[in-house]
Amino acid sequence: VKVDSYEHDEAGLTTEDAAETVAMQEKRLGKLVQLEHEIELLPAVKVTGPAEATTALLCWGSNGPVCEEVAAGLGLKVIRPRVLWPFPAVQMERALRGVQRTVCVEGNATGQLLSLLRLQGLDADDALRKYDGRPFSVEDLEAGLAEVLS
């Protein structure tokens, strides 16, 4: 068997026992609650750019540096979660205070960060996606922003 839907017990053996399944699920959920608490104690969202900026680029991972470079030239804020799950919603909401317009910049076709934002009741006004296997260049991002911010 390569894949099954059984739970694993403390010894790593598969089980179909309902009580054991509930116990292991509750153990995982407890860890998630603790992790959510710990994340809120850490700087899980990085914010760069002018504090008074009312437009922000939302990005994650390797898009951060190019977003910061372009944002610096345009006077924009960059908001970048360092942790994606559990999502640091409280810190993200705090980072978005005062921001009137957001552009989510992602190097994927499906809008993974935007989906996480929406799960938390947040959203972006616009989205720029690049999914040709190459990272955003400064020129790519400037051209995309010229379109959505005009």
136 closest CA partner among 81, 73, 61: 61
| Three-class DSSP category at 136 | coil
CA–CA dist 88, 108 (Å, integer): 21
Per-residue pLDDT tens over the stretch 93-147: 999 999 999 999 999 999 999 999 999 999 999 999 999 999 999 999 999 999 9
Quickly tell me which residue has 């996606």 as its tokens. 129
Per-residue pLDDT tens over the stretch 15-61: 999 999 999 999 999 999 999 999 989 999 999 999 999 999 999 99
